Amino acid sequence: MNFHLILSFSEEDKIGTTQPYDDALVITLRIWDYNVKRVIVDDGSGAKVMYLDLYRGLRLKPEDLTPYNSPLMSFDGKLVIPKGMIRLPIQTGPEIVEVNSIMVDTYSPYTAIISRPWLHTLGAVASSLH
């Protein structure tokens, strides 16, 4: 017998949201056995970014980073030079995925940015409506 899981959203899934709901999707992820809050999901981005607060919170050291030399554009349109890149395990449900994150030393209200390719790897779907 074949069983196919169907992904769908209902009107009940909107209960508790303020409509129209078009805010950014901000989640908590399990990174290196820590629950990391204020992770923004940016389905328009290809970059996975870690901000300085998370880098320090995970007690990472400069020698944990590998070189990464491509500049990034911040939300406010400024050029940001990364400090390096690091590969970290991220857990969502039973799945653990190793993710390369670019570390930047700039202000952000978020701890990290997770991108569209990461969602695809997990087979996840983000719904801005729900």
> In this predicted structure, what is the pLDDT of residue 128?
62
> In this predicted structure, what is the pLDDT of residue 12?
81
Ranking 11-15, 62-66, 106-110 by mean pLDDT, the lowest is: 11-15
Q: How far apart are CA 25 and CA 119, in angstroms?
A: 12
% of the chain residues with pLDDT over 70: 83
Per-domain residue ranges of the chain: 24-122
Q: Which CATH number fits domain 24-122: 2.60.40.10, 2.40.70.10, 3.30.1490.390, 1.10.357.10?
A: 2.40.70.10
Helices marked H in the chain:
52-57, 116-122
Model pLDDT for residues 22-72, shown as the tens digit of each residue = 677 888 888 988 999 999 888 777 788 999 999 999 999 999 999 998 999
If one counts every other C-beta atom within 10 angstroms of the C-beta of residue 14, the result is 14
What's the mean pLDDT in 71-88? 90
> In this predicted structure, what is the pLDDT of residue 42?
83
Q: Who wins on pLDDT, 68 or 3?
A: 68
Q: What is the mean pLDDT of the chain?
A: 83
Task: Check whether the bond before 82 is cis (ω within 30° of 0).
Answer: no
Q: Is 60 exceeded by the pLDDT of residue 6?
A: no
